[in-house]
Amino acid sequence: MGSFYTHSPLTIQLILSSLRCNLPPLSSEYTKDVGSKSHLVTANPSIIRQRFQNLLWSRKTFVDNMKIYNHSYIYMPAFSMKTGTEPSLRVYYTLSDVGANQTVLFANPNFLRSIGKFWKSRGIHAKRLSTGLFLVSAALGLCEEVAIYGFWPFSVNMHEQPISHHYYDNVLPFSGFHAMPEEFLQLWYLHKIGALRMQLDPCEDTLLQPTS
C-alpha cells in the first residue's frame, strides 16, 4: 500500500517498537496503561500550530517537550497538504538546530493517498482518516506483529463507564471530520481474523506485550 521516505533499517528497527500518535504525554500517571517507550511518534501539523504557535515563539518549549520521546522518529505528513508543509519543516529545522535526539521523517504523500483510497474502498467514508488508522496501516506493512491500544471510539467503555476521547484529554475532533466508529469496525475485523491484536480492557502484562 506504499512506503516510507526512508531507508530499510527503519523497517528492521520497527519490528520491536512502540508507535504513538500525535505527541501524547508519557507522564507517570499514564505509563501503567500506555508504557513509556517510544520509537516512532506522529506529529499532526495542527498540533504544532495550536500547541506550539507554529514554532514562531515556542522553540525551547517544543524542544523540551520532545525530550520525553528520546531517540524516536517524528513522523509528519509534510507534503500531503499545503497547510502541513511549513509546520513540518519548522519541526525539522528546530530539532536539527539544537542537535536533538529525535529524527524527523516526512510521510510519502503517495502512501497516504493509497491508504485513504484503500480504506474508502472498505467502507470508511470521512473527510479524513484518523492519524491512528494511518499509523496502524503503516505498522501492518512494517511489523511482524501489531498490538493496538486506545482505539475505542465511544464515550463509554464496555462496562458503561464514561471515558475520555484520548487517555490524556477529552478534546473531540471536528464533527464529521473522522468516522471513528467505522474505523473501529475495520480494526475489530482485523483483530478477529488475527491480523492484529486490539486491547480494549485495562492492560495486563500477561495479556498484552505490544511489539508495535
Distance between CA 28 and CA 34 in Å, rounded? 10
> Is residue 20 within 8 Å of 38, Cβ to Cβ?
yes
Catalytic residue among 39, 166, 178, 191: 178
Q: Does the annotation mark 166 as catalytic?
A: no
Condensed to tens digits (0 to 9), the pLDDT of residues 190-211 reads: 999 999 999 887 766 544 444 4
> Is residue 63 within 8 Å of 94, Cβ to Cβ?
yes
What is the residue extent of each domain of the chain? 16-107, 109-202
Mean pLDDT of 78-98: 96
Q: In the prediction, which pLDDT does 204 show? A: 63
Distance between CA 52 and CA 46 in Å, rounded? 9
Q: What is the pTM of this model?
A: 0.83
Distance of CA 181 to the CA centre of its chain: 17
Distance between CA 121 and CA 124 in Å, rounded? 7
Q: Report, in angstroms and rounded to the nearest whole number, the Rg of the chain calculated over CA atoms.
A: 17
Q: Grid coordinates in use for 57?
A: 515563539
